[in-house]
A and B are shown apart, each in its own frame.
Chain A
Amino acid sequence: MDWDVILRNLPFLLMGLQTTFKLAIVAVAGAFPLGILLGLCRLSSKWWLYYPASAYVHLIRSVPLILVIFWFFFLMPIITGRPVGSFTSAAIAFIIFEAAYFAEIVRAGIQSISKGQVMAGLSTGLSYISTMRHIVLPQAIRNMIPVLVTQVIVLFQDTSLAYVIGVREFLRWTSLVDAREFRSIELYATAAVVYFIICFVGSTITRRLEKKGGRLR
């Protein structure tokens, strides 16, 4: 086994890793706010917020990520009228896709706050929005953090799917190097180890957060 192949091609692999991180960060930056918005709409009593948001979430969650990536790969040039780079298509696809998952986490988090808290806030004359802002959301977010971090780790793993439209992220570079060097075992094992370390560290952090945070009483 020739482990040198890793060292020789390190620059390429690192470039791929950088793209992976970039994609993940862009995706989270877009998907998280969108997810919060969708989650709140799912809790709304106004039908024109609830039904569209619910349809969006259920639809996206029924479809594989690869398909969503293909959607945008085909759709983006049509929408913008110009050719769109694969990174951008992938980023948009990730944002749209992961937002649906963040939305469910947000919804569950807010629903986990007891109704009594809402009533307490309202009984002092606070408006519904004020009650949400000062009482429910701070508590809900604190409770949601472990699950949110887990979802970010999942998102990080999902970036590998950008491979299918040629985005030069980490996995794509690994396979490009493999096509040249034919050292599949060393290369893919390394890729596996890298992903493993990143995700395992992430999930360990989550576990710590869960233990420390606890539920506020």
Chain B
Amino acid sequence: MHPYGGWMLQGIFTTIHLSGIGWIIALILGVVVGTSRVFPLAFLRFLGTAYVEVFRNIPLLVQLFIWYFAVPLMLPPSARLWIYENVPNVEYMAALAALSIYTSARVGEQIRSGLQSISKEQYQAALSTGLSQIQMYRYVVIPYAARIIIPPLTGEFIGIFKNSSLALTIAVSEVTFMTQRIDSYTFHGLEAVMGASGVYIIICLTIMFFMGFMESRVSVPGLIKR
């Protein structure tokens, strides 16, 4: 089993931190994009919408290739050289960039949807009792929106986790890549692939279970129609 077990573990580790960091970046960008789409300023709304539409309608694999193959060529030669010499793991960076931006577009969409599902009347009701804008957001809008957004957001987290597998195409040694490496050494590709599947299944089911538990803890009866 050794060293193949070790490879798999390495792969799993890479998968986890690639997805994790990507998710954090995606969340931050996503919140920015999502809120910009509901801002009163039409120009911001347009930017947000353009961002979401562009990064949602181009397949992730294509975006990945663009980051890895095309973007370096777009930089001035000096910058390109600097990157290749100083940045240790260019493939990883490209994968991270592609994953986070793709996911941030989807997250932005979910956030927009959640914010928009709160009716104007709710805002008005809150303001009419004398709350300031900030208080309204803090005590009324965000708790409500969060409960609506969290389930689909969980879906996106599972999504980025699964999508990290695409990084294998540019030789990022995450878990699916490892299955191919094991296959080329041992021709036991099927077993390796099954092993990797098991890893994904366990992690995804765990996340879903955990989120289900969280949801029931914070849920408000009758709020969300299931």
Inter-chain CB contacts under 8 Å: number: 106
A residues sitting closer than 8 Å to B (CB atoms) are: 58-59, 61-67, 70-71, 74-75, 78, 153, 157-158, 160-161, 163-164, 171, 174-175, 178, 184-185, 188-189, 191-192, 195-196, 199-200, 203
Q: Is B220 interfacial (CB 8 A cutoff)?
A: no
Q: Min CB distance, B59 to chain A, in Å?
A: 4
B166 contacts across to A, CB distance below 8 A: 64, 66, 161
Known contacts A70-B193, A71-B193, A71-B197; is-contact A58 B59 (Cβ 8 Å): no
B205 lies within 8 A of A178 (CB): no
Q: Min CB distance, A117 to chain B, in Å?
A: 17
Q: Is B162 interfacial (CB 8 A cutoff)?
A: yes
A62 lies within 8 A of B205 (CB): yes
Residue interface mask B138-172, A partner, CB < 8 A = 1: 00000000000000000000100011111011000
Interface of B is mostly: helix
A160 contacts across to B, CB distance below 8 A: 59, 61-62
Q: Min CB distance, A176 to chain B, in Å?
A: 12
B59 lies within 8 A of A157 (CB): yes
| CB closest residue in chain A, given B177 | A66
In Å, the complex CA distance between A78 and B187 comes to: 13
Flag the segment in B3-11, B24-32, B68-76 that touches A.
B68-76
Residue interface mask B53-69, A partner, CB < 8 A = 1: 11011111111011001
Q: Is B118 interfacial (CB 8 A cutoff)?
A: no
B residues sitting closer than 8 Å to A (CB atoms) are: 53-54, 56-63, 65-66, 69-70, 73-74, 158, 162-166, 168-169, 176, 179-180, 189-190, 193-194, 196-197, 200-201, 203-205, 208
B58 lies within 8 A of A196 (CB): yes
A196 lies within 8 A of B201 (CB): no
A191 contacts across to B, CB distance below 8 A: 62, 65
B59 CB contact (under 8 Å) in A59, A64, A171, A189: A171
In Å, the complex CA distance between A74 and B53 comes to: 36
| CB closest residue in chain A, given B65 | A188
A58 lies within 8 A of B205 (CB): yes
B189 lies within 8 A of A185 (CB): no
